[in-house]
Amino acid sequence: MAAEVVTTPPQMAFYVAMTSYVVASVLHLSSLAQVPDWVGRSARWAVIVAFVAHGVDIGWRGVEHVHPATSVREALGFLSWILIGAYLVLSRRKGLSVLGAFVAPLALVVLATARLSPSGDAVTGLSSLGRLHIASATVGVAVFCLATVVSVIYLMQERNLKSKNFDGILFRSSASLETLDRLSARLVAIGFPIFTISMMLGGVWVAQREQGFGRIEYPIAGVTWLAFAALMLGRSMRGLQGRRAALLTLLGFGAAMLVLALYFLRRSVGI
């Protein structure tokens, strides 16, 4: 019989983080329209409060021996925190605060899913190598997630330009297509080696556990790696950029999300 994963009830910091993410989401979405500048500034401060409270929540759970690498639920909570931290760094650049309208609601949904879903079963045979694999995979996917958000904004911007919709909300609020394409490329360049390391660690970990490589998650994770590897090679050797690069980014991240969803359902629901 599978052992139940160690967990702890949500603390006050979690509720502060959730409330702040809700406020940040509303303010960021409002700031896309023509509103006073204080709305955008307030949105950023709401994200900062959420980020700090979220970090305190993760730290408290660590004190209770519920670490980010102990389960898929905890990994998801950690992923959303990294995503927000990366956004706060990037949003200091002009034209990138628009990311908040996408990132804040996403972090809200992911954190709620992580904390309020069933605890499920523990990951069997979770060694230090397994924890390193989970942690590095979480960081890599978080960076890919931000690259995907940038790519989505790129595609929306491109659509506005092609339809000559120069009054569109994103057109007024976002950075140029060139800036967005370059930023997505840099984020993938950061996330790819981290994700590659996680794949290598995961392969060794599975081999040590002698459980075989028959699970459907493994080839799908391979699709993620191949998609981003092709993107990196295409950019460096073929000059791949723009719409095709954005679509390939979406493909790779979609595969990564499918892997996370399968792990989450397997551990939390037991399918």
Tens-place pLDDT, residues 175-233? 788 889 999 999 999 999 999 999 999 888 888 876 667 788 889 999 999 999 999 99
Q: 2 lies in a domain?
A: no
Would you say residue 54 has pLDDT above 90?
A: yes
Q: How far is CA 139 from the centre of its chain?
A: 8
8-state DSSP, 61: H
Give the model confidence (pLDDT) of 152-179 as tens digits: 999 988 887 777 765 555 555 567 888 8
The token pair at 109 is 């949904």
- 72 within 8 A of 268, measured Cβ to Cβ: yes
134-167 burial by CB neighbour count: b if 16+ within 10 A, else e? Answer: bbbbbbbbbbbbbbbbbbbbbbbbbebeeeeeee
Q: Which two tokens stand for residue 61?
A: 């759970």
Q: CA 30 to CA 25: how far, in whole Å?
A: 8
Q: Is residue 122 part of a domain?
A: yes
Strand-pair partners of 4: 121
Q: What does the block give as tokens for 259?
A: 């892997």
pLDDT at position 59, please? Answer: 92
pLDDT 10s digits, 233-267: 999 998 889 999 999 999 999 999 999 888 877 76
> How many structural domains does the chain have?
1
Please report whether residue 259 resides in a domain: yes
- pLDDT of 5 strictly over 70: no
CA–CA distance from 57 to each of 13, 77, 152 (Å)?
A: 5, 10, 30
The share of the chain scoring above pLDDT 70, in percent, equals 86
- Say whether pLDDT at 4 is over 70: no
Taking the CA atoms of residue 80, residue 85, residue 87 and residue 91 in that order, the dihedral angle to the nearest 10 degrees is 160
Report the share of the chain in percent with pLDDT over 90: 47
Q: Confirm whether 6 is domain-assigned.
A: no
Q: Is residue 215 part of a domain?
A: yes
Residue 66 lies in a domain: yes
In a domain, 7, yes or no: no
> What token pair was written down for 187?
């984020």
pLDDT at 51: 97
What are the backbone angles phi and psi of residue 4, rounded to the nearest 5°? Answer: -75, 140
Domain that holds residue 215: 12-268
Kindly state whether residue 3 falls inside one of the protein's structural domains.
no
- Residue 268: predicted pLDDT: 65
pLDDT at 11 over 90: no
Give me the pLDDT at residue 267, please: 67
Residues 6 or more apart whose CB falls under 8 angstroms from that of 138 comprise 68, 69, 75, 78, 79, 82
pLDDT bucket at 116, cuts 50 / 70 / 90: confident
Banded pLDDT at 122 (limits 50, 70, 90): low
